[in-house]
Amino acid sequence: LVFAQRRIPEEGSEITQMPLLLRHLRLKGCVVSMDAAHCQTDTIDLIVERGGEWLVSLRDNQPTTAAEIAPLLEALAATTAPAAESADKGHGRIEIRRCWILEGEAIKNLKCRGRWKGLRCAILCERTVIDPVTGKETIGRRIFMTSLPPQARELAALVRRHWQVESSLHWSLDVLWREDEARARTGYAATNLSLIRKTAINLLKLLKPDFPTLSFARIMKKAARRPDFLYKLLTNLLRA
């Protein structure tokens, strides 16, 4: 579900808007997962101050930290078995996921540790995609830092759920709602339409359990064509 959004000013960026967005959310007992763009010390500090935990992707936008942590994780992956491993088959491919965790004294001895409030471990996540027809393998690796304890299966699941935002939300916006094709640019039109789309997506997700055999696309089409079905959707929501 989408709980909040902020409009990015013309001369602003996501990085500066993220802390302003977080100030409106209750973070105690929650895990905030973020892309590498939000791997910023000010953002991490705010999450910890508000009682939340954090999980953030680490890339070259933090060169000093990446240069220190990446070689340690690569060496760990080259010499030890993964802390967690899983395999899935679907959509015409086989996916194997592995993760290695840097923890304990290795984290305590990091020169960059003091910059990242609450840092407890770093994770190397490897995803191997195999085409069963051609046998072609594609391997991708990503590094994450987190304030959470080094529990491999839980961390691997959180990383996977982080990337599911791309498929479950952004894919819906791009494919079902064709947001990238929208040409609203004047004033707050783009912001308002984005809010309406996300509100509609939230409604669909809340109502989906009542229609387990229908996809989101079919529910949308049926509601657009049949006012009685749209009325049923909205009344079911009000009862909930």
* 143-157 tens-digit pLDDT: 999 999 999 999 999
Helix (H) or strand (E) holding 68: helix 63-79
Q: Report the first-to-last Cα separation within the chain, whole angstroms.
A: 16
> Which pLDDT score, from 0 to 100, does residue 239 have?
66
pTM: 0.81
Q: Over the chain, what is the mean pLDDT?
A: 89
For the record, the structure tokens of 99 come out as: 């993760």
> Which pLDDT score, from 0 to 100, does residue 178 have?
83
**DSSP 8-state symbol, 103:** -
Question: How far from 95 is each of 126, 139, 140, 192, CA to CA, in Å?
Answer: 10, 10, 11, 38
| CB of 33 closer than 8 Å to CB of 169 | no
Segment 90-114 mean pLDDT: 94
**Tens digit of each residue's pLDDT (9 = 90 or more) over 110-144:** 999 999 999 999 999 999 999 988 989 999 999 99
pLDDT of 240 above 60: no
pLDDT of 20 above 60: yes
For the record, the structure tokens of 228 come out as: 């009685």
Segment 43-50 mean pLDDT: 96
Using pLDDT thresholds of 50, 70 and 90, give the confidence band for residue 49. Answer: very high
> Which pLDDT score, from 0 to 100, does residue 129 have?
95
> Which pLDDT score, from 0 to 100, does residue 182 have?
81
Using pLDDT thresholds of 50, 70 and 90, give the confidence band for residue 27. Answer: very high
Helix (H) or strand (E) holding 100: strand 93-102
Rounded (5°) CA angle 217-222-226? 160
